[in-house]
Amino acid sequence: MKKGIVLIIAFIGLISFSGCKEALTGQSAYDEAYQNTKLNQQGIREITYEQFMRIRNHKEGYVLLDVLSAESFNKNHIPRAESFPLDTINKESAEKRVIKEAKVVVYCGGFGCHASTAAAKTLSGLGYKVLDYKGGLEEWHDKGNKFSSVE
């Protein structure tokens, strides 16, 4: 009887922790992506759509920045993103908009757009922890996701 109870308790414990990597490792989806993503030639950590979706679906706190123009943001952006156009990013504006401890993800138009890489480089240089979702708006849409808009 004791053996059966021990097995049941062990089984319940296994079920409770299966699929919950953070509970086992203490690491968030963002931190996992940050640590497991190598720096590109510009010294930036680029993440895939799958990594981005793990971060989004994990419901952890992170800041999603659309670094395209305000006009572009108003037409189409990834839901829950904030507009922070590349040409406005500097030390003063970053300090006003994003706390240093924030986990930041930047994106732009897609693989052919380099605004997110430039933004990530600037923000990283200012001491922020940044991931660059290179697929941006193009991949987001291609994967069947909807945009938000201000208009």
pLDDT digits (tens, 9 = 90+) for 9-39: 443 343 333 344 444 456 899 999 999 999 9
**74 in a domain, yes or no?**
yes
User: What domain range is 97 assigned to?
Assistant: 27-142
Is 148 a member of any domain?
no
What CATH number is given to the structural domain containing 37?
3.40.250.10
Top-ranked range on mean pLDDT: pick from 2-11, 18-27, 89-98: 89-98
Torsion of CA 32, 25, 57, 105, to 10 degrees: -30
| Nearest C-alpha neighbor of 65 from the set 53, 47, 77 | 77
> Would the pLDDT of 41 be above 50?
yes
Number of domains in the chain: 1
Q: pTM for the complete prediction?
A: 0.82
- Alpha-carbon gap, residue 22 to 28, rounded angstroms: 6
Distances (CA, A) of 33 to 10, 13, 28, 92: 30, 27, 9, 28
CA distance 89 to 72: 16
118 is a domain residue: yes
Residue 71 within a domain: yes
Q: Please tell me the predicted confidence (pLDDT) of residue 27.
A: 83
* Residue 85 covered by a domain: yes
